[in-house]
Structure 1
Amino acid sequence: MKKVWLLIALFTGVKQLANAQNIDTIVKHAALSFMSGGPRVGLSVGIIKKGEIYRYHFGSSGTNQNSAPTDQTIYEIGSLTKTFSGRLLAQAVIENRVSLTDDIRKYLKGDYQNLEYHHKPITLKNLANWTSCLPDNLPEKPTLKAVPPDSQLFEARRFHDGYTRQQFFNDLHSIKLTAEPGSHLAHSNTAAQLMGFILEDIYGMSYEELLRRYVTGPLKMPGTFVTVPASKRALLSRGYNAKGMIMPEIPKDAGSAGVLKSSIADMVRYLGDQLSETNKAVKLTHQPTWGSPETLAIGLNWFTKTNFDGQREISGSGGTFGYSCYMAGYPAKGFGIVILTNENDNQASDAINDLAKTIYNEIYFTAAQRAELGFGFSRSINLLLKALNQNGFENAVKAAADLKHSDASFKLVEDDVNLFGYHLLNKGEKAKALEIFKLNVSLYPNSYNTYDSLAETYESLGDKVSAIQNYQRVLELNPDSHNATEHLKKLTGK
């Protein structure tokens, strides 16, 4: 596909705000930067700001080189499907059909003694908040035909298209939990699929029928499908990988874990419903059931956290063989953004997340504010930065301890400190970054990732001895670290 088509941009939508032209400029600039930053194909962006709707399209839907996406172009939305499933579970709770604390075996036919760990069972809540400890997919190790690498996803799709509900439940018997449900967060399509099957049995309706009754019907979302009908197939974009190859569609057995396809017009309506939170079931899906809202929590398949500017943020994302998507909302601001693209690679998910943040930041903050060193980081990071600018970065450990002692709300989260260190590193402030990574090691001495970041910084400074020592510490904490292994080979020649 010629790159010229990646630079086509169409702007549509209702734009009545005084700053509509400013939003157009921000989105166009950010989106064109995104489109030129990798093997992109097509992109649709939907924004809601105080009830006003903005929709934008770039590139190609992939049907042919001249077919730019439109409001009705259909994309696969992958794991964003899980938020729809969470909405249905919340509805069942509202109707007193289930309780989130119910043992899932209450709704299963047959004996599933294996679905507990040390007598603690998996609950419905665990299925919806990514803490079930179930494997990511069933079967865990499918037997696929030996095919070339570029054909493996096509073979996987053929296999899963024929993988039946009965086979799923047969394989469910073979699962052995290795941790207590609720103990940690881990993506699991198996959990989401199982939740869909349970809801179908409770209501005596198919997943698609449940969606029409409770979500897509009431919200008037005519372009959202489990299976795209023949009359709408021309609207379905083509999904691509990083090499520009057309990818297979999502397998049928993805079900309530990732089967949905939708348009930007429909997803903006869905986004608006999330922002208003007037529906009791919608509001329930946003209430944290695991984690801390200050840093990262999850409700019923919606992630929530406090953004760096103090705003409550809800978000979800998805990726399939050839598509990536992201949705984020800030209910108190009445602002939300949804991004759909028909390309997927190792960087696509992070890239559209960054695109959404860029648009949000440029709409709500001035260039001068965005240029500040601590912009985009938490209040605690900015308090630390102020102290270090006054007293020197070499005193980071003491400064953090003093702030914690004097301010009960001061809290440094591992990931935030790590990101701040890399932020400094990317600005060429290697010595300052080193002190931040040292601080993170002192705060989180049992985290292999803190040592990994410290080792990389020593390596960039030319201190091979310290780099080797820290990479070795990484392997002590995480023997499977590929990054540490490869860097040690390079540094030691062994």
Structure 2
Amino acid sequence: MKINFSKSLVIPILISLVSLAVNSQSKQNTDSIDVFLKNKMEKLHIPALQIAVVQHGKIVKSNSYGIANIENSVMATNQNMFSINSCTKAFVGVAVMQLQEEGKLNINDSISKYLDDLPAAWKGLSMKQLFANISGLPNIIDYKENLLADTENGSWEKVKTLPMEFNTGDRFRYNQTGYVIIGRIINKVSGMHFTKFIEDRQFKVVGMKQTRFGDSNDIIPNSAGAYTTQDIVDGRWITTDKVRSSYAKFPEFFRTCTGIITTSDEIAQWIIALQNGVLLKHKSSLDLLWQPAVRNNGRVGGFNKLVNGYAIGWPTVTREEHPAVGPIGGMRSAFFVYPKDDLSIIVLTNLQGANPEWFMDEIAGFYIPDMKESNGFGLSPTVKKLRKELIVQNYKNPLKIAESLKKNNAAFNLSENDLNDFGYKLLAEGKQNEALKIFKLNTDLYPESGNTYDSYAETLAGLGNKKEAIKNYKRAFELNPKNINAQEQAKKLAVL
């Protein structure tokens, strides 16, 4: 898989185009979600966004916003096609569960039961471990996300010569080799190429008339195009200050990893069919599809604090309150299914760097008030208790309140990270003064942590208190000399 970038565009021009398009579209169908998404698009420089919401088995919202094609100022519509990249893996998970229901395979079997040309170290791996990215397999793409060779056979033979990266089950590490193997197994046990199996058994069954496999080499009717603000530097993704066109090529054998192009409405129809027993006959199959794998340490493993687990092709948001399964793809598209709430949200964009998974819960909050960040959703139980008391007392004397809660309950503990998260949530809500008090509380509770002073200083600077900001940036640097940014911020403020 090779991605090339070109055609730089200045972001302010894009913002004007998106704002014009969203305002025009919203006049016809404006609600609070439309306003929320418009703000997100402008903030994140998203050219086009498409949304569908499923509640109680029906599509209750469907809309498109922005610019599908920047070069020609083409406005987005519900017919626009978006690449969903690694969300494709969720369809592969369904395909394998369909084959398991037919008795043609079992995800707990060793993959050597189905394939012969495997290195000895791979033979005992199960499909479930491959799906969950805990196999330890070497990756068939390099750090620049290019395949190891120019051909399918060349890449396959090359990856087989590489050592295992870790003991199976020890870690989570996103890996494409496992999905290439799964594609080979589907080919063998189904008697057809996996792309055709998915087309026949999912796209056609559901009536997904537009959905298809493809890449930038193909002419896609109603294509929403592809843009990026991302680049790879030293093996790490960074966000640039330019929106550019992006190019992606996905060889056919690689399309268990990525490659589906679709609309939010058609994914909504697919989710409804999946939950209604159209695609999988047994509820137990759906439960297994969404059950995150457990590593050797007894914990789930995933991409980050939010998407913290991985099941059968489906990343999971494993938590007590409003758990979800949430395929994410290409840093541009995502869909979250909230099984306990009978709610699903699909957000597709044409910008690599939009990362809609990070605002999916906020959209859910429009349907489930308990999930609104302003109501404390996402905070730890102890911070929620603190927040409740702070609101009652108008955020006066946070340290005294925390000490009182601790006195009444010895198990009450406020972690540094949880308080820091709370402070930044308050900042996101525009509550700078309240956030300042939380960051100050964190310095009181964790006086030897440089990070607490850094966050406190940042907020002080935002409120215009340069003297105190400089003082706390200096303290942050004293406690953590590696925090060069704190030192630089203190110097900048001193000359302003």
TM-score, scaled relative to structure 1? 0.73
- Counterpart for residue 341 of structure 1: 349
Specify the SS of the correspondent of 2:154: helix
Specify the SS of the correspondent of 1:304: strand
Match of 1:94 among 101, 104, 109: 101
Between the aligned partners of 1:438 and 1:87, the Cα distance in structure 2 is 50
Are 2:366 and 1:357 aligned? no
- Judged with a 3 Å threshold, the aligned counterparts in structure 2 of structure 1 residues 394 and 129 are, in CA distance, closer, same or farther, namely farther
- RMSD, matched Cα: 4.1
Task: Calculate percent identity across the aligned residue pairs.
Answer: 18
Q: In structure 2, list runs of 5 or more residues that go unmatched.
A: 1-12, 230-241, 459-468
Specify the SS of the correspondent of 1:176: coil
- Counterpart for residue 318 of structure 1: 329
Cα displacement (A) at 1:226: 1.5
- Judged with a 3 Å threshold, the aligned counterparts in structure 2 of structure 1 residues 400 and 195 are, in CA distance, closer, same or farther, namely farther
- Counterpart for residue 128 of structure 1: 131
Give the helix-richer structure, 1 or 2.
Answer: 1
Q: In structure 1, list runs of 5 or more residues that go unmatched.
A: 13-20, 143-155, 443-450, 476-483
Contact 1:114 1:173 in 2 (8 A): no
Structure 1 segment 48-447 matched on structure 2, within 5 A: 48-53=54-59, 54-62=61-69, 65-115=72-122, 121-135=124-138, 137-140=139-142, 163-227=150-214, 233-242=220-229, 243-252=242-251, 254-276=254-276, 279=280, 280=282, 281-290=285-294, 291=299, 296-305=308-317, 310-319=321-330, 324-345=332-353, 348-349=354-355, 352-365=356-369, 371-372=374-375, 374-386=376-388, 392-393=398-399, 403=409, 405=411, 418-424=420-426, 427-428=431-432, 429-436=435-442
Between the aligned partners of 1:132 and 1:292, the Cα distance in structure 2 is 13
Cα displacement (A) at 1:424: 4.7
Contact 1:424 1:430 in 2 (8 A): no
- Judged with a 3 Å threshold, the aligned counterparts in structure 2 of structure 1 residues 288 and 141 are, in CA distance, closer, same or farther, namely closer
Contact 1:275 1:334 in 2 (8 A): no
Between the aligned partners of 1:438 and 1:247, the Cα distance in structure 2 is 47
- Judged with a 3 Å threshold, the aligned counterparts in structure 2 of structure 1 residues 435 and 109 are, in CA distance, closer, same or farther, namely farther
- Judged with a 3 Å threshold, the aligned counterparts in structure 2 of structure 1 residues 340 and 124 are, in CA distance, closer, same or farther, namely same
Cα displacement (A) at 1:286: 1.0
Contact 1:74 1:236 in 2 (8 A): yes
Contact 1:326 1:340 in 2 (8 A): yes
- Judged with a 3 Å threshold, the aligned counterparts in structure 2 of structure 1 residues 206 and 26 are, in CA distance, closer, same or farther, namely same
Between the aligned partners of 1:77 and 1:441, the Cα distance in structure 2 is 45
Moved more, 164-173 or 60-69: 60-69
Between the aligned partners of 2:168 and 2:410, the Cα distance in structure 1 is 32
Between the two proteins, the alignment pairs up a number of residues equal to: 432
Q: Provide Cα deviations, 1:351-372, integer angstroms capped at 9, x if missing partner.
A: x2344333221333299x7645
Cα displacement (A) at 1:187: 1.7
The amino acid of 1:318's aligned partner reads G
Specify the SS of the correspondent of 1:235: coil
Contact 1:75 1:340 in 2 (8 A): yes
- Judged with a 3 Å threshold, the aligned counterparts in structure 2 of structure 1 residues 83 and 11 are, in CA distance, closer, same or farther, namely farther
Specify the SS of the correspondent of 1:125: helix
Q: Provide Cα deviations, 1:138-190, integer angstroms capped at 9, x if missing partner.
A: 24267xxxxxxxxxxxxx7xx75983221222122232223222222222223
Cα displacement (A) at 1:28: 1.4
Between the aligned partners of 1:206 and 1:425, the Cα distance in structure 2 is 50
Contact 1:104 1:122 in 2 (8 A): yes
Moved more, 255-264 or 289-298: 289-298
Specify the SS of the correspondent of 1:192: helix
Q: Provide Cα deviations, 1:202-229, integer angstroms capped at 9, x if missing partner.
A: 3232121120233212212122211379
Q: Provide Cα deviations, 1:189-208, integer angstroms capped at 9, x if missing partner.
A: 23223322232233232121
- Judged with a 3 Å threshold, the aligned counterparts in structure 2 of structure 1 residues 5 and 96 are, in CA distance, closer, same or farther, namely same
Between the aligned partners of 1:438 and 1:205, the Cα distance in structure 2 is 64
Contact 1:302 1:314 in 2 (8 A): yes
Give the strand-richer structure, 1 or 2.
Answer: 2
Specify the SS of the correspondent of 1:359: helix
